[in-house]
Amino acid sequence: KKARIDKTTDRIPMYACQRSTPLQHHNKQFTDALEVLEEHALYRDDPNSEARALAFRRGSATLKSLPYKITHVGQLKNLPYIDSTNSSKAGHCKKIITEILEEGFSDEVEGVTNSEFFKSMKIFCGIFGVGPSTARKWFYDLNLRTLEDIKTKKLTLTKDQTLGLRYHEDLNKPLLLEEANHIAKLVRETCTALRSGCTVTVVGGFRRGKDKGHDLDLIISHPIEGNEEGMLAMVLEKLDEHFIYTEKKASNTKRQTSLESRSTMDHFEKCFSIFKYRHEGSAKQSQSNILHLEGTWAAKRVDLIVVPKSQFAFAVLGWTGTKHFEREIRRYVRSEKKLVLTSHGMYTLDTNESISADSEEEIFEKLGLNFLPPSERCC
Ligand code: DCP
Ligand code: MG
């Protein structure tokens, strides 16, 4: 029944959603190199950069799924997106891996890593609110290079970017699992106190088993459809003193049902925020369970997403990631199943009929995929 889609070369399936990809794998030396080239491609602005970036990520994702370490070139034979007779992009991945196998490093990767462009873009894009196009403007048009340059130059900044600079040091330190659990607990207790039965689910990297991340992603829901409504405003008000910044996005349920707007961005009511995380021992917990902020604290990024029960399984799947896993499962669904998968649901490509599911397991099942737990989606 669970027919594997055998668009496979040898035994490694083509789509990352068809194979297990653990967090810890055997080929980090190669995947780190390929992901530098992916990142570099994403920083550049030419018509091919997106496709180039994707090709490096696909090659990297194949290597991450291998249950052994690559030690010689012969092992690259038939690997999806690495060994392909008709793709120059796969050839590029193979060339890099071969270089590393033979020389211990890749000239091209070293060159990129040490380039002024890459180094500055990495710094600029590491600022909350700054993306590649702003970063490129700063680099090329204004000749800026360092964080100091950004801080001293009188630039016109968005609200996000101003905060991104103000809390730069905090926001560029990884958010630790322990801290994430602390914040999740506070949000969960606040939500359930406001409305009994309310659920708060950790998604994103922490759900995949990472022990640190760039932010905490939380889905707020309720077992009774409709009871999630209004939760965001209430929880933000209740936890007001814990937030430095909140950027609310209204839900847009009208758009979600029309085919053309099913882009990668979802339409849930959500909030991108900067949370004021107080360090252990620096606060007293009062009886009302509100933490009193005293002493040292650090700014941490937290995303809250409000999801109605009927879309919950899809939202959890869509927000658990990785970004590449999401891209792959959606590509598989469209090409192999003639369906559309989003964080809101699943629909037939031709008639736009909705197919429901109550759990991630059920979604995989209905897609003819073997279930992959979050910890095996680390592509
Ligand atoms: N995601 C999505 N659409 C969005 C935002 C996110 O599909 N508009 C998905 C892909 C991500 C996950 O949600 O894997 C969470 O996004 P993050 O950017 O927080 O990524 P991670 O949590 O995977 O990594 P990190 O540890 O850096 O936070
Ligand atoms: Mg995250």
Q: Tokens standing for 118?
A: 């890459």
Per-residue pLDDT of 6-45, as tens digits, reads 444 458 999 999 999 999 999 999 999 999 999 999 999 9
| 321 C-beta closer than 6 A to ligand 1 | yes
The one catalytic residue among 89, 210, 249, 366: 89
- Phi first, then psi, for residue 72 (nearest 5°) are -150, 155
Superfamily of domain 316-376 in CATH is DNA polymerase, thumb domain (3.30.210.10)
Which among 270, 268, 292 has a CA at the least distance from the CA of 282? 292
Q: How far apart, in Å, are the Cα atoms of 269 and each of 187, 197, 259, 302, 307? A: 16, 19, 19, 14, 8
Say which residue, 103 or 281, is predicted with more confidence: 103
Closest atom of ligand 1 to CA, residue 322: 14
Beta strands 297-306; 216-221: pairing state: parallel
Domain range list for the chain: 16-112, 116-166, 175-309, 316-376
pLDDT at 58: 98
Cα separation, 315 vs 300, in Å, equals: 23
Fold classified for 116-166 = DNA polymerase; domain 1 (1.10.150)
pLDDT at 265: 86
Please enumerate, by residue number, every residue annotated as part of a binding site: 215, 217, 303
Ligand nearest to the CA of 216: 2
Query: Residue 1: which pLDDT band, with cuts at 50, 70 and 90?
Result: very low
Per-residue pLDDT of 187-240, as tens digits, reads 999 999 999 999 999 999 999 999 999 999 999 999 999 999 999 999 999 999
Ligand 1: distance of its center to the CA of 362 in Å?
Answer: 22
Task: For ligand 1, atom 17, name the residue with the nearest CA.
Answer: 204
ipTM over 0.90: yes
Per-residue pLDDT of 289-345, as tens digits, reads 555 555 799 999 999 999 999 999 999 999 999 999 999 999 999 999 999 999 999
pLDDT at 281: 62
Direct distance between the N- and C-terminal alpha carbons of the chain, in angstroms, rounded to an integer: 26
Choosing among 3.40.50.720, 3.60.15.10, 3.40.50.970, 3.30.460.10, the CATH entry for 175-309 is 3.30.460.10
Same CATH fold assignment for domains 116-166 and 316-376: no
Closest atom of ligand 1 to CA, residue 265: 8
**Is the distance from CB of 273 to CB of 304 less than 8 angstroms?**
yes
Ligand 2: distance of its center to the CA of 273 in Å?
Answer: 12
| 374 C-beta closer than 6 A to ligand 1 | no
pLDDT at 8: 40
- Where residue 293 falls (left for φ over 0; alpha for ψ -120 to 50; beta otherwise) is beta
Cα separation, 210 vs 251, in Å, equals: 29
Ligand nearest to the CA of 266: 1
Task: For ligand 1, atom 5, name the residue with the nearest CA.
Answer: 319
Cα separation, 116 vs 120, in Å, equals: 6
Amino acid identity for residue 195 in this structure? R
**Helices marked H in the chain — which ranges?**
28-43, 49-64, 88-103, 107-114, 116-125, 132-136, 147-152, 159-166, 168-171, 177-194, 204-207, 231-238, 253-256, 312-320, 323-337, 360-366
- At residue 229's C-alpha, the angle toward residues 225 and 233, to 5°, is 155
Q: Reduced to 3 states, what is the DSSP secondary structure of residue 292?
A: strand
- Of 169-173, 258-262, 267-271, least confident by mean pLDDT is 258-262
Query: Residue 3: which pLDDT band, with cuts at 50, 70 and 90?
Result: very low
| 174 C-beta closer than 6 A to ligand 1 | no
Neighbours of 167 (CB within 10 A): 20
Mean pLDDT of the chain: 92
Choosing among 1.10.150.110, 3.90.180.10, 3.40.640.10, 1.10.760.10, the CATH entry for 16-112 is 1.10.150.110
**Is the distance from CB of 23 to CB of 60 less than 8 angstroms?**
no
For the chain, what percent of residues have pLDDT higher than 90? 87
Per-residue pLDDT of 232-267, as tens digits, reads 999 999 999 999 999 999 998 654 554 544 456 899
Cα separation, 182 vs 185, in Å, equals: 5
| Predicted confidence (pLDDT) at residue 284 exceeds the cutoff of 60 | no
